[in-house]
Amino acid sequence: MCDDHLPLPRVSDCICTDLKMGCIIFGWISLICSIIGVGTLNLYHHDEHYDGVIYPTLGTGIVLSIILLIGLHADIPILVQIYYFIILISIILMIISFIVYLIRGRIWGAVSFIIACIFYFVVVIYTRSCFYSMM
């Protein structure tokens, strides 16, 4: 395992529970939100252009949440690290998407990307801390 040398804080507790349980809660929240997102798009959205982008994104969110949950429940640090690094890349892509949505004038899309970025940034801090506590 490698030390990433990122200037992110390491925490010892998560909200009002221990670090591992907090990360499990974040994993379940992420999984549920991805599943609800797929269901919501099936009901309200029928645009082929966005379907080609949104469904794989939500599917990836489901797979990543499952990877995180398996890594935490089975104490497999490499799975937590894989989740952590992929979510870091996703945050960068969400920031780019935020800028694109702002340029195109789609304010609600931009707001949703910022909310997702904030949520996943918090998740990154906690999963990174959990990863280092597992080692």
User: What are the pLDDT digits (tens) for 87-96?
Assistant: 888 888 888 8
Q: In this model, does residue 102 exceed pLDDT 80? A: yes
pLDDT of residue 47: 58
- Residue 14 phi/psi, 5° resolution? -120, 110
Q: Which two tokens stand for residue 55?
A: 């469904």
Q: At what angle do helices 107-134 and 19-44 cross, to 10 degrees?
A: 150
Q: Which two tokens stand for residue 14?
A: 């998560």
CA 31 to chain centre: 9
What pTM, to 2 d.p., does this model score? 0.78
- Interatomic CA distance for residues 18 and 122, integer angstroms: 15
* More confident site: 53 or 134: 134
Q: What is the pLDDT of residues 29-83, one digit of tens each?
A: 888 988 887 776 666 655 555 555 666 667 788 899 999 999 999 999 999 999 9
